[in-house]
Amino acid sequence: MIEIKVASIDDLLIIQKIGRETFLETFESRNSESDMSAYINDRFSENQVQHELKNLESIFYIAWDQEDPIGYLKLNIGQAQTEYKLEDHIEIERIYVYASHHGKQVGQLLFFKALETAKNLRVPTIWLGVWEENARAISFYKKNGFEEFDKHIFRLGSDEQTDILMRRAVG
Protein backbone atom coordinates (compact mmCIF):
# COMPACT_ATOMS: atom_id res chain seq x y z
CA MET A 1 0.00 0.00 0.00
CA ILE A 2 1.56 3.27 -1.17
CA GLU A 3 0.89 6.29 1.01
CA ILE A 4 1.49 9.92 0.01
CA LYS A 5 2.35 12.31 2.85
CA VAL A 6 3.21 15.99 2.89
CA ALA A 7 6.91 16.60 3.54
CA SER A 8 8.42 19.09 5.97
CA ILE A 9 11.88 20.42 6.78
CA ASP A 10 12.33 17.31 8.94
CA ASP A 11 12.35 15.28 5.72
CA LEU A 12 15.33 17.15 4.25
CA LEU A 13 17.68 14.15 4.16
CA ILE A 14 14.98 11.92 2.63
CA ILE A 15 14.22 14.44 -0.13
CA GLN A 16 17.93 14.96 -0.76
CA LYS A 17 18.62 11.21 -0.98
CA ILE A 18 15.67 10.44 -3.28
CA GLY A 19 16.52 13.43 -5.48
CA ARG A 20 20.16 12.46 -5.90
CA GLU A 21 19.56 8.76 -6.42
CA THR A 22 16.58 8.97 -8.77
CA PHE A 23 18.22 11.70 -10.84
CA LEU A 24 21.27 9.48 -11.27
CA GLU A 25 19.13 6.42 -12.09
CA THR A 26 17.21 8.32 -14.73
CA PHE A 27 19.84 10.47 -16.43
CA GLU A 28 23.30 9.07 -15.69
CA SER A 29 23.52 6.88 -18.79
CA ARG A 30 22.83 9.81 -21.16
CA ASN A 31 24.96 12.54 -19.60
CA SER A 32 28.60 13.09 -18.71
CA GLU A 33 29.80 12.32 -15.22
CA SER A 34 31.04 15.88 -14.75
CA ASP A 35 27.69 17.43 -15.78
CA MET A 36 25.77 15.02 -13.55
CA SER A 37 28.07 15.69 -10.61
CA ALA A 38 27.84 19.47 -11.03
CA TYR A 39 24.05 19.40 -11.21
CA ILE A 40 23.55 17.02 -8.29
CA ASN A 41 26.02 18.86 -6.06
CA ASP A 42 24.21 22.13 -6.77
CA ARG A 43 20.52 21.17 -6.91
CA PHE A 44 20.58 18.52 -4.19
CA SER A 45 22.97 20.09 -1.71
CA GLU A 46 21.72 20.25 1.85
CA ASN A 47 21.49 24.06 1.67
CA GLN A 48 19.52 24.01 -1.60
CA VAL A 49 17.05 21.35 -0.45
CA GLN A 50 16.60 23.19 2.85
CA HIS A 51 15.93 26.43 0.97
CA GLU A 52 13.32 24.70 -1.23
CA LEU A 53 11.59 23.01 1.71
CA LYS A 54 11.36 26.34 3.57
CA ASN A 55 9.86 28.14 0.57
CA LEU A 56 6.17 28.71 1.34
CA GLU A 57 5.39 28.62 -2.39
CA SER A 58 6.78 25.10 -2.83
CA ILE A 59 4.97 21.99 -1.68
CA PHE A 60 6.59 18.57 -1.28
CA TYR A 61 4.97 15.15 -0.90
CA ILE A 62 6.78 11.88 -0.23
CA ALA A 63 5.53 8.50 -1.47
CA TRP A 64 5.98 5.75 1.11
CA ASP A 65 5.90 1.98 0.66
CA GLN A 66 5.50 0.83 4.25
CA GLU A 67 8.46 2.47 6.03
CA ASP A 68 10.44 3.11 2.83
CA PRO A 69 10.39 6.46 1.01
CA ILE A 70 10.20 5.60 -2.70
CA GLY A 71 9.64 8.92 -4.44
CA TYR A 72 8.53 12.49 -4.12
CA LEU A 73 6.61 15.30 -5.76
CA LYS A 74 7.59 18.96 -5.77
CA LEU A 75 5.02 21.60 -6.73
CA ASN A 76 5.59 25.34 -7.14
CA ILE A 77 3.15 28.22 -7.09
CA GLY A 78 3.62 31.97 -7.45
CA GLN A 79 7.24 33.12 -7.61
CA ALA A 80 8.62 29.65 -6.84
CA GLN A 81 7.70 28.55 -10.37
CA THR A 82 10.75 28.16 -12.59
CA GLU A 83 8.98 30.03 -15.42
CA TYR A 84 5.52 31.36 -16.20
CA LYS A 85 5.13 32.82 -12.73
CA LEU A 86 1.39 33.25 -13.10
CA GLU A 87 -0.92 33.23 -10.12
CA ASP A 88 -3.33 30.89 -11.89
CA HIS A 89 -0.69 28.23 -12.61
CA ILE A 90 0.95 25.51 -10.56
CA GLU A 91 4.15 23.81 -11.67
CA ILE A 92 5.11 20.19 -11.24
CA GLU A 93 8.85 20.64 -10.90
CA ARG A 94 9.59 17.05 -9.97
CA ILE A 95 7.94 13.66 -9.86
CA TYR A 96 10.83 11.41 -8.87
CA VAL A 97 10.30 7.70 -8.25
CA TYR A 98 12.91 5.00 -7.76
CA ALA A 99 13.26 2.71 -10.79
CA SER A 100 12.45 -0.25 -8.52
CA HIS A 101 8.92 1.17 -8.24
CA HIS A 102 8.34 2.11 -11.88
CA GLY A 103 5.19 0.47 -13.22
CA LYS A 104 3.63 0.30 -9.74
CA GLN A 105 1.48 3.44 -10.12
CA VAL A 106 3.61 5.54 -7.75
CA GLY A 107 4.10 8.29 -10.33
CA GLN A 108 0.37 8.21 -11.05
CA LEU A 109 -0.46 8.59 -7.35
CA LEU A 110 1.93 11.54 -7.07
CA PHE A 111 0.36 13.09 -10.17
CA PHE A 112 -3.12 12.68 -8.65
CA LYS A 113 -1.82 14.43 -5.52
CA ALA A 114 -0.62 17.30 -7.73
CA LEU A 115 -4.09 17.58 -9.29
CA GLU A 116 -5.77 17.43 -5.89
CA THR A 117 -3.49 20.19 -4.60
CA ALA A 118 -4.17 22.36 -7.66
CA LYS A 119 -7.93 21.89 -7.18
CA ASN A 120 -7.68 22.76 -3.48
CA LEU A 121 -5.74 25.92 -4.37
CA ARG A 122 -8.33 26.69 -7.09
CA VAL A 123 -5.59 26.83 -9.74
CA PRO A 124 -6.97 26.08 -13.22
CA THR A 125 -3.69 25.25 -15.02
CA ILE A 126 -0.91 22.81 -14.21
CA TRP A 127 2.35 22.82 -16.17
CA LEU A 128 5.82 21.26 -16.23
CA GLY A 129 9.06 20.95 -18.17
CA VAL A 130 10.38 17.56 -19.30
CA TRP A 131 13.63 16.73 -21.09
CA GLU A 132 12.94 16.13 -24.79
CA GLU A 133 14.87 12.84 -24.59
CA ASN A 134 12.86 11.47 -21.63
CA ALA A 135 10.35 9.52 -23.72
CA ARG A 136 8.99 7.61 -20.72
CA ALA A 137 8.04 10.81 -18.89
CA ILE A 138 6.65 12.50 -22.01
CA SER A 139 4.42 9.48 -22.64
CA PHE A 140 3.26 9.52 -19.00
CA TYR A 141 2.30 13.19 -19.18
CA LYS A 142 0.54 12.86 -22.54
CA LYS A 143 -1.43 9.93 -21.14
CA ASN A 144 -2.49 12.25 -18.32
CA GLY A 145 -3.79 14.96 -20.64
CA PHE A 146 -0.78 17.27 -20.98
CA GLU A 147 -0.08 19.02 -24.27
CA GLU A 148 3.11 20.69 -25.46
CA PHE A 149 3.04 24.47 -25.55
CA ASP A 150 6.66 25.68 -25.60
CA LYS A 151 10.30 24.75 -24.99
CA HIS A 152 13.09 26.09 -22.82
CA ILE A 153 16.75 25.48 -22.09
CA PHE A 154 17.62 23.37 -19.07
CA ARG A 155 21.24 23.57 -17.95
CA LEU A 156 22.74 20.31 -16.69
CA GLY A 157 26.24 21.24 -15.59
CA SER A 158 27.79 22.78 -18.70
CA ASP A 159 25.33 21.09 -21.08
CA GLU A 160 22.37 23.05 -22.42
CA GLN A 161 19.45 20.69 -23.00
CA THR A 162 15.95 21.31 -24.32
CA ASP A 163 12.92 20.77 -22.12
CA ILE A 164 9.46 20.48 -23.60
CA LEU A 165 6.96 22.56 -21.65
CA MET A 166 3.58 20.88 -21.22
CA ARG A 167 0.33 21.94 -19.58
CA ARG A 168 -3.23 20.87 -18.95
CA ALA A 169 -6.35 22.17 -17.34
CA VAL A 170 -6.82 21.04 -13.76
CA GLY A 171 -10.59 20.55 -13.90
Catalytic center residues:
141
Helix (H) or strand (E) run with residue 141 in it: helix 135-143
Amino acid at 128: L
Q: Are 138 and 164 in contact (CB under 8 A)?
A: yes
Q: In whole angstroms, what separates CA 162 from the centre of its chain?
A: 16
Q: Please, what is the angle between helix 46-54 and helix 12-27, to 10°? A: 120
Q: Are 18 and 69 in contact (CB under 8 A)?
A: yes
Helix (H) or strand (E) run with residue 74 in it: strand 68-77
N- to C-terminal Cα distance for the chain? 27
Q: Are 88 and 51 in contact (CB under 8 A)?
A: no
